[in-house]
Structure 1
């Protein structure tokens, strides 16, 4: 038997096939069109482009596997969270999807806070209202595009739309539903009080299932489009963070991941909903039935380095991977970057500030500083931002016994060492790190009965390749720098309030593709 995982990301869709031992047989990817930003802070994608990319990626993965499509015993999904796909009664897309990083809904967040009170919303959903969450996007469309809202018959999240195209069934997993602000996370059901108070009809929402549950089968139309066999079972899967955690073995309390992709995430599994009364971190249902997870998010983690690359490039004499070249430059600067700090708030910030108007800053430059200092400051600044979440975990008594790295931050030896030094804790690197698509494939294997639980699957397939210890001297230096870093955001807020910088910034357009 083989299992197919499909990850519907922001930048592209990936299809990955594993065997019964969890070994990767083949994978393929297809890029999406860059998200559109019609106004500052807006972020939209065409859902049909996700389905186009899925069809191509699956066909390429099947071809690369060079085995019959009848070998695929089950399909699993993961995908970008929080997005709102609106369908009419004919199942046609009404408007472009508002995706996770869309920041236009600040007025709706304020109204929710006034209507419920933040404390009450945390009681009901385990989370404070943020612009990222799906509910705020639905309210924005209802208030600003009533002609579109009156046509809405179904609401799906991104991966669930693609799975609907494959199977014809509408469903959502507990983990992804947790990011809508419509789920009673503690009891794993839609919140009747939130739905009633906001006027959102329960009939608009898909069926709730646990991540390894089979939610449908590949339809004849889906089979023709992808090359899969009609009738192949499909599990509901999970949002990308929970699926990625499955793929890295973060399925029990005590082992925590720090993943640097476009965004950065610190993720820990818990046996109970661990609530932050200040709303700085998210408490969601896990992809493991009966478990929850806590999660802090840095909006622009890897995006910070990509922003530097796209705006300032790499040295003309350089060859090879541009990120390797940037890391080589950064290594020429000392720990703490000789007093240069990067505050990575290019897209506002979630943890710990919950501030969509937060802005990035490069602090401490002098005529003596070089590109190397700036690049290293970016690597350190992202790690400082992720450390903010570890600080909150300690406050909430979330156990951190082992830290496992993922994403681009795990592939760079320098960034691995910086993270160990900033966290003051040994970090682990996996032998194979295939991201959320791998977790989706594992969930498919559990759904098909190849493994009897998500935990047993991870015990079988997840292996550690390296452990990086913190350097005592550098860790002390970076701990002192982190204390200075923590003072920058409050100072920037004072400047913004005094100069009206937020209003000035809001008239510009930022497009990152």
Structure 2
């Protein structure tokens, strides 16, 4: 018995096959383009997703010699917030507007004004951001009236793949949470939001829990992919919730930190709770519970910028620059880096925030600056961690993943700044692995998502805080935390 996990990312789809013991026995990725037709816009062709996915599944089955009959169920992960519109004949009406598209600033202001900031938080647990789906729908209503008049179905990106595989219009609670049309606390579409924005619920897909069965592989999809007709398909989850399942972040007290291009601090919670200022996202989790999430826009990308853009001419590799930084004492001798290279989301939600070094003097070297970048990103992640603490969510263990987590120095800095143990785990496939786990739960292999994670995911390596560095970093963090408010007006003037 095997389980298929499909992660529909922004640049590629990753597909894995997991066996009953949790071992990944086959995997592959297929890329597709992103289009930027105007400044701040980001779009994709849903058919590109489908072509990559069906070809990937077929290739996985044929080249990896996986018998399609052994795949008992399929789970999804996917980029969140994107808008797919279908007409009454299920034809895609226009390119999908992606999570990173920034065209909906006016719509976000409109939503906040019409609904009210407090009611928006009450109804959805979140505030209006350009990435979310509802502002995109309003943008189409205003700017593409001829398209909106033909819309019969609205889907999120991964759910378009579900539709192509099963013929069902369905989504899951974690992905729906990022639409700004969902009552996160009660896990249903928000009638208050739909009425306020004049959007018909008839356009929206049926919503399921992440491990619930939503349909099965159709005869047509079976012929196109090599899968067996009737194979079960479960709800799946948005990429962050699926990634949390893939790291075992499903119990209260376990925190996950994803150090990819962006940085995400993710905490599971048994009871629904919302940050009073909506600095954290409050979403449904994939394990029938909830989660909060803080997002910084530039994490490992800060180091990538430093190595590939600034130090490119020196021919220094990541490892060489990190080796230099290891020799610099904690605190970089008073040098602080603000990691706002692409603006910031948590805790400031400011597109005009700028990255900068503070405290440079004649004694500082490149090695100091490298270490300051590592520390600055860790301080930025601590901003989200402190908001999690303020919700009285316990922090017993932090599990890290992503490209930045490969650096032991960076993990040690995180442990010192967070003042807690930092763990690496045996799972490296993140969202696609989480999707496969959800598929296994849906097929009855496990009684719950939490049980599956406890059996399949293990800690492989731990880094503990260095007590000698904790006080120094706490003082540095107080300075770091004060800098944004002092520089906010300057950032705006520069912009």
- How far does residue 373 in structure 1 lie from its aligned partner after superposition? 3.1
Q: What secondary structure does 2:446 align onto?
A: coil
Match of residue 148 from structure 2: 149
| Alpha carbons of structure 1 residues 138 and 339: separation in structure 2 relative to 1, 3 Å | farther
1:347 aligns with 2:342: yes
1:311 aligns with 2:309: yes
- How far does residue 121 in structure 1 lie from its aligned partner after superposition? 0.7
- How far does residue 315 in structure 1 lie from its aligned partner after superposition? 6.2
Q: What secondary structure does 1:487 align onto?
A: helix
Aligned mates of 2:227, 2:240 — CA distance in 1: 26
1:415 aligns with 2:410: yes
| Alpha carbons of structure 1 residues 60 and 331: separation in structure 2 relative to 1, 3 Å | farther
| Alpha carbons of structure 1 residues 10 and 304: separation in structure 2 relative to 1, 3 Å | farther
- How far does residue 70 in structure 1 lie from its aligned partner after superposition? 1.0
Aligned mates of 1:253, 1:108 — CA distance in 2: 36
| Alpha carbons of structure 1 residues 317 and 357: separation in structure 2 relative to 1, 3 Å | closer
Is the CA contact (8 Å cut-off) linking 2:287 and 2:449 kept in structure 1?
Answer: yes
Match of residue 6 from structure 2: 6
1:401 aligns with 2:396: yes
- How far does residue 113 in structure 1 lie from its aligned partner after superposition? 1.5
Aligned mates of 2:96, 2:308 — CA distance in 1: 26
Match of residue 264 from structure 1: 263
Match of residue 511 from structure 1: none
Aligned mates of 2:349, 2:157 — CA distance in 1: 23
Is the CA contact (8 Å cut-off) linking 1:103 and 1:356 kept in structure 2?
Answer: no
| Alpha carbons of structure 1 residues 233 and 96: separation in structure 2 relative to 1, 3 Å | same
| Alpha carbons of structure 1 residues 215 and 38: separation in structure 2 relative to 1, 3 Å | same
Aligned mates of 1:491, 1:211 — CA distance in 2: 43
Q: Deviations over 1:306-342 (max 9, x none)?
A: 3344423546655xxx544553354344433333333
Is the CA contact (8 Å cut-off) linking 1:26 and 1:61 kept in structure 2?
Answer: yes
Correspondence list, 1:14-413, <5 A: 14-33=14-33, 35-63=34-62, 65-289=64-288, 291-312=289-310, 314=312, 317=315, 323-366=318-361, 368-413=363-408
- How far does residue 474 in structure 1 lie from its aligned partner after superposition? 2.5
RMSD of aligned Cα (Å): 2.0
Unaligned runs of at least 5 residues, structure 1: 503-513
Q: What secondary structure does 2:331 align onto?
A: helix
Is the CA contact (8 Å cut-off) linking 1:44 and 1:96 kept in structure 2?
Answer: yes
Is the CA contact (8 Å cut-off) linking 2:353 and 2:491 kept in structure 1?
Answer: no
Is the CA contact (8 Å cut-off) linking 2:244 and 2:434 kept in structure 1?
Answer: yes
- How far does residue 409 in structure 1 lie from its aligned partner after superposition? 2.9
With normalisation by structure 1, the TM-score equals 0.91
Q: What secondary structure does 1:242 align onto?
A: helix
Is the CA contact (8 Å cut-off) linking 1:101 and 1:347 kept in structure 2?
Answer: no
| Alpha carbons of structure 1 residues 377 and 90: separation in structure 2 relative to 1, 3 Å | farther
Q: What secondary structure does 1:294 align onto?
A: strand
| Alpha carbons of structure 1 residues 302 and 41: separation in structure 2 relative to 1, 3 Å | farther
Aligned mates of 1:340, 1:50 — CA distance in 2: 44
With normalisation by structure 2, the TM-score equals 0.94
Question: Number of paired residues?
Answer: 495
Of 75-84 and 57-66, more deviation after overlay is shown by 57-66
Aligned mates of 2:150, 2:354 — CA distance in 1: 37
Q: Deviations over 1:446-472 (max 9, x none)?
A: 011111111111111011111110112
| Alpha carbons of structure 1 residues 307 and 38: separation in structure 2 relative to 1, 3 Å | farther
Aligned mates of 1:210, 1:341 — CA distance in 2: 43
Q: What secondary structure does 1:398 align onto?
A: coil
Q: Deviations over 1:54-76 (max 9, x none)?
A: 23432343346433111111110
| Alpha carbons of structure 1 residues 471 and 460: separation in structure 2 relative to 1, 3 Å | same
- How far does residue 366 in structure 1 lie from its aligned partner after superposition? 4.3
Q: What secondary structure does 1:17 align onto?
A: strand
Q: Deviations over 1:99-143 (max 9, x none)?
A: 112222221121112112211111111112212211111112222
Aligned mates of 2:402, 2:154 — CA distance in 1: 30
Q: What secondary structure does 1:132 align onto?
A: coil
Is the CA contact (8 Å cut-off) linking 1:119 and 1:277 kept in structure 2?
Answer: no
Of 430-439 and 91-100, more deviation after overlay is shown by 91-100
| Alpha carbons of structure 1 residues 479 and 73: separation in structure 2 relative to 1, 3 Å | same
Of 366-375 and 3-12, more deviation after overlay is shown by 366-375
Is the CA contact (8 Å cut-off) linking 1:429 and 1:467 kept in structure 2?
Answer: yes
Is the CA contact (8 Å cut-off) linking 1:17 and 1:65 kept in structure 2?
Answer: no
Q: What secondary structure does 1:257 align onto?
A: strand
Q: What secondary structure does 1:91 align onto?
A: coil
Q: Deviations over 1:328-370 (max 9, x none)?
A: 3543444333333332233332211122333333434445444
